[in-house]
Structure 1
Amino acid sequence: MKVAMLNNPVVVVNPKMCGGVERMALLELDALEELGVDAKYYVRGFLGSDSRVEAMKDFRFGSDMGRRYYAWFAEKAADADVQHSQNAPLIALVSKHKNVLLHVHNVTTFPYYDLAKKNYDRCIFACCSSFILRELLRNNPSLPRERCTLLLNGIDTNLFSPSAETTPERPRILFTGAWIWHKGIRVFLDAMKILEDRGLDFEAAVAGSPYLYDTGDSQEWQSESDANIRASISQLRSARVVSVPDHSKMPDLYRSSEIYAFPSVWQEPFGLGLAEAMACGVPVVATKVGAVPEIVEDGRSGVLVEPGDPRALADAVAALIEDEGLRKRLAREGRKRIEERFSIASHARALYGIYRSMVG
């Protein structure tokens, strides 16, 4: 079977460190290859070397950039058995292919799905969480329910796995992700200040950077965001920035932490970092937003708090710092939760099943 994947034209893909949509696509390439699927990933730009990934050579910003990008893909992927769009729904307006899989990764693309309604008869909509599936149908009432399916995200549970237990001198609380408001970076830093004021002895590790998407005019505000966040971190005696040059090094970062904080304040479509930390056996404190409650069972495989509330986040983190038994139980159940429901192996099998149903 031959599959052509398409990425959103906004993003330049960096395999060493990229967003969740691109990370899932790269994981799918590897997992599908093991299942005998010949998959190729078409992107606007690629900062790596992989024969399975092809970047558009003459991409340029402009009013017609989307049309040119989608037309380029449609021509390249004409002989594929399935065209698989990764958060790029407008391909349904350009491609004439009979088998188009529209992979729905977040709510930001919802307005575009209605534009493709005349082509629904040859599209399947695969949603990365029950939350996204529910919201897609609510926001697009004309979309046929029978063409929508759930395709839960998955992670590499062999790469992201627990390590031998250690007893650090100071507990480390970890934040990872883009340094933008909706990922909750400010909530995290405010919560750490509350813990400092209470006299707790800990280390707050902040990994990430300003938003990774390249929209052509984002360098100035990215630099400003970076400077502002670093200034805020420097004002906390417990906090420091942790540099992670490659995503393959992330398991070590998770394993070196006693608690992982996921303070997102937007309608989170999934949360790969959250799932990775749980797979590494790290107890998590996360917010009740979007699909997060699908991953974290409150009080069983993690702790959930209300979004945008630094004090609630601080209280939950403090409770874990003070209760080693609770940390161990949540860590054990968190790992079990990811193994049973969110592995890349089970994701790939489900995706392959969707392909087969489309091809016949």
Structure 2
Amino acid sequence: MNILHLEYAGKTGGIEKLCKDIGNASRIDHQYFLFVHEGGSIYDEMKKDHLKVECLNLNNYQIYKLYNMILRYTSTLNINAIILHHPAPLIWLAMELYLHRSNRANVFVYVHNTYQEITAEKYIRRRIYNDLLKHADGIIAISKWVKYTVQLNTPIEDNKIKVIYNGIICPQNQKEHTGKLHKPIEIIYVGRLIEKKGVQVLLKAAAKLTPKQNYKIHIVGDGPYKKELQKQTKKLGIESIVSFWGNQRDIVERLTNADIFVHPAIWEEGFGISIIEAMSCGKICIASKKGAIPEIIEDGHNGFLVESNDETALANKIMKIAENMTTEQRMTLEKNAWMRANDFTIEKLLNELHAFLERG
């Protein structure tokens, strides 16, 4: 099967990284990737990996040009299925034109976030998006929670929407699960630095840890909220234990060298791929009880869930792991986390995606 993936931009992000992994891991289908607006770091990496990728550099008003480019690509490459990834009106409107053709490839909408987040609860975006979902041949939701938000706001029936969890390429060299902690204890967050990711909650929790010299906080990632987080770090008096590392190429190495992974989201997460990456490295994860996160973590079995935006609960959970759990208990958590991560492999995603596209 020949599959064309439409994306808006190729910058660092979960959608872009997932598409890169799909391209590198695909063994059954031929994957083509079209970035319609601009490239970026992931786009550059995909080119270096010799994936079939192209950037069109279109502006948001070149709807008909994108439509004609899609016609050209689908004809030249003999495309069987088109998958829409980024929630961009430029792509939506061009595909609305394409969907009304009698002779066309099947079109699928990959829903990477909640309905509310995608539409920004704006009337025009809702109208365009709902029309797109109505006419598409199939819809892929990255979690049960995302599927729920779509069906809550649209008349989409069960047989048209399929939950396919995100997948990762699991680390090849897995370290032994020991349950032992570093001195000081290494706590890590990996992800975008935006307010709704809740890193400020982690910083407030860090200020409550005692004694502080027993802990180190590593913030891996970048984003528009970084300067504000650095200001909060200084204001809370925790500069000596907090490090900002920016974007890192080798996330696995960072995760492997940590003890506890924290995902303190204050919004309804559509999935949480960084949680899976941490679990695949055998890390004990603490995450907010928001959105799809409880679909990944079973509290107390393969990680811990805490109430969102509660720095006291987060601090107490970190100190419980450090002070009240035995080495054997931590080792069991690490093993269970690793086993859970193996339910979310890129190979499983590709098999389920192939079956769903063929059905369409």
Q: Please, what TM-score do these two structures have when normalized by structure 1?
A: 0.84
> Which residue does the alignment assign to 1:219?
none
Q: Does 1:45 align with 2:38?
A: yes
> Which residue does the alignment assign to 1:173?
187
* Cα shift at 1:231: 2.8
Where do residues 96-245 of structure 1 align in structure 2 (5 Å cutoff)? 96=99, 97-107=104-114, 108-110=117-119, 111=126, 112-116=128-132, 119-120=135-136, 123-140=137-154, 142-159=155-172, 161-162=174-175, 165=178, 168-196=182-210, 199=212, 201-210=214-223, 222=224, 225-234=225-234, 235-236=237-238, 237-245=240-248
Deviations 1:60-96 (A, max 9, x none): 3x5x255644553344234301111113472541323
| Aligned 8 A contact 2:191 2:220 in 1 | yes
SS at match of 2:302: coil
Distance 2:162 2:63 in 1: 26
> Which residue does the alignment assign to 2:318?
317
| Aligned 8 A contact 1:188 1:263 in 2 | yes
Single out whichever of 85-94 and 43-52 deviates more from structure 2: 85-94
Distance 1:148 1:321 in 2: 42
Distance 2:187 2:320 in 1: 13
Query: For this pair of structures, how many residues does the alignment match?
Result: 327
SS at match of 1:23: helix
Distance 1:136 1:276 in 2: 26
* Cα shift at 1:192: 0.5
Distance 1:19 1:346 in 2: 21
| Aligned 8 A contact 1:71 1:94 in 2 | no
Distance 1:188 1:160, change over 3 A: farther
| Aligned 8 A contact 1:6 1:73 in 2 | no
Distance 1:288 1:350, change over 3 A: same
Distance 1:40 1:337, change over 3 A: same
Say what the alpha-carbon RMSD is for the aligned residues. 2.2
> Which residue does the alignment assign to 2:122?
none
Q: Given residue 129 of structure 2, which amino acid in structure 1 is its aligned partner?
A: Y
> Which residue does the alignment assign to 2:338?
335
> Which residue does the alignment assign to 1:301?
302
* Cα shift at 1:202: 0.8
SS at match of 2:169: coil
Distance 1:117 1:204, change over 3 A: closer
Distance 1:162 1:129, change over 3 A: farther
> Which residue does the alignment assign to 1:216?
none
Distance 1:269 1:355, change over 3 A: same
Distance 2:359 2:110 in 1: 15
> Which residue does the alignment assign to 1:4?
4
SS at match of 1:352: helix
Distance 1:304 1:278 in 2: 14
SS at match of 1:95: helix
Aligned-pair identity (%): 20
Distance 1:129 1:105 in 2: 9
SS at match of 1:245: coil
Distance 1:74 1:306 in 2: 48
> Which residue does the alignment assign to 2:10?
13
> Which residue does the alignment assign to 2:123?
none
Deviations 1:267-291 (A, max 9, x none): 1011111100001000000011111
Distance 1:327 1:73 in 2: 52
Single out whichever of 107-116 and 64-73 deviates more from structure 2: 64-73
> Which residue does the alignment assign to 1:284?
285
Single out whichever of 101-110 and 161-170 deviates more from structure 2: 161-170
| Aligned 8 A contact 1:74 1:94 in 2 | no
| Aligned 8 A contact 1:161 1:280 in 2 | yes
Q: Given residue 39 of structure 1, which amino acid in structure 2 is its aligned partner?
A: Q
Distance 1:164 1:287, change over 3 A: closer
Q: Please, what TM-score do these two structures have when normalized by structure 2?
A: 0.84
* Cα shift at 1:6: 0.6
> Which residue does the alignment assign to 1:214?
none
Distance 1:338 1:82, change over 3 A: same
Distance 2:319 2:213 in 1: 8
Distance 1:74 1:267 in 2: 37
SS at match of 1:102: strand
| Aligned 8 A contact 2:284 2:337 in 1 | yes
Unmatched segments (≥5 aa) in structure 2: 120-125
SS at match of 1:80: coil
> Which residue does the alignment assign to 1:217?
none
* Cα shift at 1:144: 2.9
Deviations 1:2-23 (A, max 9, x none): 110111x2xx314xxx211111
